[in-house]
């Protein structure tokens, strides 16, 4: 790819320029859509800041207590930026400051937020010389550091916003889906489930009858979203392949799912690889009621947890304070 900018120019390499972003949490899989469906939410989100630095390469500054690696090759945001920099002049350098508000290992796209936020912010510094699909391609390298796999079901909604379908990884083919208003309740029990561990326990072969049922649910869920058919969405939020295996890693999962639906939720399941659990509701009142159910169950289990009642984030990574005199849209 030929770079569109002359980054040797003083204008292009503006060392006073600073870009600050909020990179949203995401819910991957959407129950039946393993590795192909995901959506962004308005809360929680990571806060990130990037600027050019005088020396080539990447400097990472952690503004939180997670003690994540600052070696760019071992840091998900750094790996994403390194992939971007392969298509930029060799003299460029970035200083990236990360304040993680999405706990690593929480199952709501912590690694994707850092990866996507870094490349989206850098692209803003570069006056948007890369497309959204390019940014997904770069950010997937961060997911490979986190899980060993270049999956995009968290990355794509983080960059595109809303609900996204990953039709293909190689070649990359991302479809943005419309969706009716939905309220999202998320509970994060304070345990960690590593994505790599959650992937390692999955079956590599499935029965044809189970695959057919799963395909029907995926098609039904996509159709329900496009047609704003809440009942169809609810009927389609069923996973016969992944959830039965992964749910054993999450205390109280079956109870939360059953009682949330009794409280009026359309349905839901494991967020990404867990341990977070999400439920979709048609109204905020129902979503709040579901949050109360989740809270009560984990109180009874004496397990610390955080709950969020939020909505779908339709913009993806948000620019909150960019000291550059241009429009800040991706």
Would you say residue 4 lies in a domain?
Answer: no
The predicted model scores a pTM of 0.91
Per annotation, catalytic residue among 26, 164, 185, 195: 195
**pLDDT tens-place string over residues 191-237:** 877 777 777 777 789 999 999 999 999 999 999 999 999 999 999 99
Let me know if 195 is a catalytic residue: yes
* Secondary structure element (H or E) that encloses residue 84, with its range: helix 76-85
Rounded CA separation 133/140 (Å)? 11
Rounded CA separation 51/45 (Å)? 20
Q: Are residues 272 and 193 in the same domain?
A: yes
User: Which pLDDT belongs to residue 25?
Assistant: 98
Quick one: what percent of the chain has pLDDT higher than 90?
A: 84
Quick one: what percent of the chain has pLDDT higher than 70?
A: 93
Q: Count, in order, helices (H) and strands (E) of the chain.
A: 10, 11
Let me know if 86 is a catalytic residue: no
**pLDDT tens-place string over residues 228-278:** 999 999 999 999 999 999 999 999 999 999 999 999 999 999 999 899 999
User: Which pLDDT belongs to residue 304?
Assistant: 96
CA distances from 137 to 53, 119, 249, 293, 299 (A): 24, 10, 30, 39, 41
Average of per-residue pLDDT values in the chain: 92
Would you say residue 69 lies in a domain?
Answer: yes
Q: Are residues 123 and 205 in the same domain?
A: no
User: Which pLDDT belongs to residue 8?
Assistant: 55
Q: Are residues 165 and 192 in the same domain?
A: no
User: Which pLDDT belongs to residue 192?
Assistant: 76
Residues of the domain holding 121: 19-177+314-319
The CA-based dihedral angle spanning residues 128, 130, 134, 136, taken in that order and rounded to the nearest 10 degrees: -20
Would you say residue 328 lies in a domain?
Answer: no
**CATH assignment of the domain containing 156:** 3.30.230.10
Q: Are residues 83 and 127 in the same domain?
A: yes
Per annotation, catalytic residue among 143, 164, 243, 282: 143
Q: Are residues 32 and 156 in the same domain?
A: yes
Would you say residue 11 lies in a domain?
Answer: no
**CATH assignment of the domain containing 289:** 3.30.70.890
The mean per-residue pLDDT over the stretch 25-39 comes to 97
């Amino acid at each position: 790819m030929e770079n569109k900018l002359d980054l040797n120019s003083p204008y292009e390499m503006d060392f006073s320029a600073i870009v600050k972003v909020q990179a949203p949490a995401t819910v991957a899989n959407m129950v039946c859509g393993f590795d192909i469906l995901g959506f962004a939410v308005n809360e929680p989100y990571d806060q990130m800041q990037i600027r050019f630095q005088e020396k080539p390469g990447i400097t990472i500054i952690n503004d939180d207590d997670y003690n994540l690696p600052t070696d760019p090759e071992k840091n998900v945001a750094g790996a994403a930026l390194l992939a971007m920099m392969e298509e930029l002049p060799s003299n460029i350098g970035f200083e990236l400051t990360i304040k993680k508000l999405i706990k690593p290992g929480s199952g709501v796209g912590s690694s994707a937020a850092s990866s996507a936020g870094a490349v989206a912010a850098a692209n803003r510094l570069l006056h948007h010389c890369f497309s959204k699909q390019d940014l997904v391609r770069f950010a997937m390298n961060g997911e490979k550091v986190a899980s060993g796999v270049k999956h995009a079901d968290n990355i794509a909604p983080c960059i595109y916003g809303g609900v996204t379908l990953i039709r293909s990884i190689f070649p990359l083919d991302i479809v943005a889906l419309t969706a009716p208003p939905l309220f999202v309740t998320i509970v994060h029990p304070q345990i960690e489930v590593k994505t790599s561990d959650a992937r390692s326990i999955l079956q590599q072969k499935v029965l044809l009858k189970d695959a057919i049922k799963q395909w029907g649910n995926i098609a039904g869920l996509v159709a329900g979203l496009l047609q704003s058919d809440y009942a169809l969405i609810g009927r389609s939020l069923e996973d016969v392949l992944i959830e039965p295996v992964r749910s054993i890693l999450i205390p109280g999962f079956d109870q939360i799912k059953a009682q949330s639906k009794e409280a009026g939720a359309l349905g839901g399941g494991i967020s990404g690889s867990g341990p977070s659990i999400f439920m979709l509701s048609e109204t905020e009142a129902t979503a709040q009621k579901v949050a109360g159910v989740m809270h009560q169950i984990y109180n009874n289990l004496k397990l610390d947890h955080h709950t969020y009642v939020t909505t779908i984030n339709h913009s993806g990574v948000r620019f909150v304070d960019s000291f550059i005199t241009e429009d800040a849209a991706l």
